[in-house]
Amino acid sequence: MDTIVIPFSKKKILLKSLMSLAFVAMGVLLIAVIANDQTRWPPLLIQAIGGLNILFFGVAAIAYLRLLFVKKPGIVLNDEGIINNSSYLSTGLLKWDDINALRIEQVKSTKFLIVYLNDPWQIIKVASGFKRWLMMGNMRRYNTPISISATVLDCSFEELEKWVTERFSKSIAQNQPA
């Protein structure tokens, strides 16, 4: 099989970075202006919401901006499996033999390719800290720690799904006894 290399989309990453920074600015506005100028809710509540906004979207902005300087491709599909560098939950090479199913999920307008593994705990046990916590969240929700989206990749979700599904199907066909 030919190798498929899917690079990061600098345009998508820049757009997501700018959107995150806009939410950071809204958080600053909540704390500095709106909290004290409104009378509907306690100012401390509005300041807390603003602080959480700054924290969450500030981390997201940093993560997106960091991707602008990553030299690795976002996804590589080859004979061995999927090399996924597209998110914080990336695990390196996922061998086709370790994957037992694929499924599509959608959260609001974002589609994800859910990757079911023969032994998902093998990946979780080597992760640590925040990454492990996020993987455990995926395990609780989808029964796998791995999900892949095209939100920062230079392809559509439909293309990503097609390429991964085709490669996975070919891998299954090659591994079946004749």
Q: Provide the pLDDT confidence category of residue 1 given band limits of 50, 70 and 90.
A: low
Question: Which is it for the CA torsion 135, 140, 146, 148, positive or negative?
Answer: negative
Contact 96, 171 (CB under 8 A): yes
**146 touches 115 (CB < 8 A):** yes
> Could you report the per-residue pLDDT of 116-174, keeping only the tens digit for each?
999 999 999 999 899 999 999 999 999 999 999 999 999 999 999 999 999 999 988 88
pLDDT digits (tens, 9 = 90+) for 5-44: 999 999 999 999 999 999 999 999 999 999 889 889 999 9
Alpha-carbon gap, residue 166 to 161, rounded angstroms: 8
pLDDT digits (tens, 9 = 90+) for 86-103: 988 888 899 999 999 999
User: What is the predicted pLDDT for the residue at 173?
Assistant: 85
For residue 175 the two structure tokens come to: 């591994």
Q: Determine what percent of the chain is predicted with pLDDT higher than 70.
A: 98
Q: What are the boundaries of each domain within the chain?
A: 9-67, 75-175
